Amino acid sequence: MVDRANRPSALHAPSAAAPGPQVDISGSGASSRVTARLPSGESVEILLHGATVISWKSDGGEKENLWLSEKAVLDGSKAVRGGVPIVFPVFGPPPANHATSSLPQHGFARTSRWEFLGKSTSEDTVESSAVKLDFGLYSSNLSAEARKAWPYDFGLVYSVTLSKDSLQTVMNVRNEGTEVFEFQMLFHTYLRVKDITTTTLTGLLGVPYTDKVLNNTTSTQSTPSLSITSEIDRVYTSIPQSTATVLENGTPRFDIVRDNVEDTVVWNPWKEKAAAMADFAPQDGWKNMICVEVGTVGGWQRLEGGDGFEGGQVVKSLL
């Protein structure tokens, strides 16, 4: 792990006296997945394909917090529509004349098969129990096509920690070679909401953004609360506040806390764009989701040989 200040906190040592979280591995091949469940019922489910979180349930396992398309492809043949796909090493279409220019949109992490590295648990009490699941992806495990398109030696360790009311995702990127490389990284989180027309987002006041719906024009968030009234695809950069809050009808639903990353993408395809996506369902599913995507995408992170980078988020369920 990278030695830096304010890194995501480590779990407490487990106590043998308390009931422990359960971790199961199911499926085979591209559909293999890891499921963890706390003694109090909360759960998380992660495909090895893309290390994609496809379910996160809080409130004793009764409340699903993530939106997953009913037509999401889970057989490893394409990226998953919904949950928390991982964007690496490039966000969006790769720029021309850059080392990532031969890669597909959003890179290869979300379409590669990851290795499950194991779990660690905290079991001091039922209320404070947590489980951390680690996944790895390395240059040696890439497809020949991806390796040719981005021929750097790297190692990724992705940690997903389930607590009673929160989900933490942390990415550790390491340059395992001698050649410098640049990358972008983002957690493409689809949050489930009751009604996008009554959903607002706070924590972005005064932050500059690029509006991809309006031909990449730049502007600044001028209101403390962002309402979603049409298709939105904005990249907010260099955000000074660490926390953004999703509200439903004025009531806080999620806190999204960034750690060592400065950017956030806000996305909802709205009716017309959702209808054009073959793997988006139900057709009006855009009404029940908002993507608040934490990462480092406003520029490029540069890693010298042997160096590392670590950044992440904590999403807290408030209801």
Binding-site sequence positions for substrate:
81, 105, 110
CA distance 52 to 69: 13
Q: Name residue, tokens 């400065």.
A: 262
Q: How far is CA 79 from CA 69, 109, 136, in A?
A: 12, 9, 17
Q: Has 123 been annotated as catalytic? A: no
What whole-number distance in Å separates Cα of residue 174 and Cα of residue 308?
Answer: 4
Q: Which of 301, 272, 41, 318 is nearest to 154 (CA)?
A: 301
Identify whether the C-beta of residue 290 lies closer than 8 Å to the C-beta of residue 270: no
Residue in 42, 45, 293, 310 annotated catalytic: 293
Q: Report the binding-site residues.
A: 81, 105, 110
The pairing of strands 225-227 and 166-175 is unpaired
- 188 carries an active-site annotation: yes
| Tokens linked to 311 | 């950044």
92: CB partners within 8 A, 6+ apart? 105, 106, 297
**Of 188, 248, 272, 304, catalytic:** 188
For 66-103, b where at least 16 C-beta lie within 10 A, e where not — what string? bbbbeebebebeebbbbbbbbbbbbbbebeeeebbeeb
Active site amino acids? 188, 293
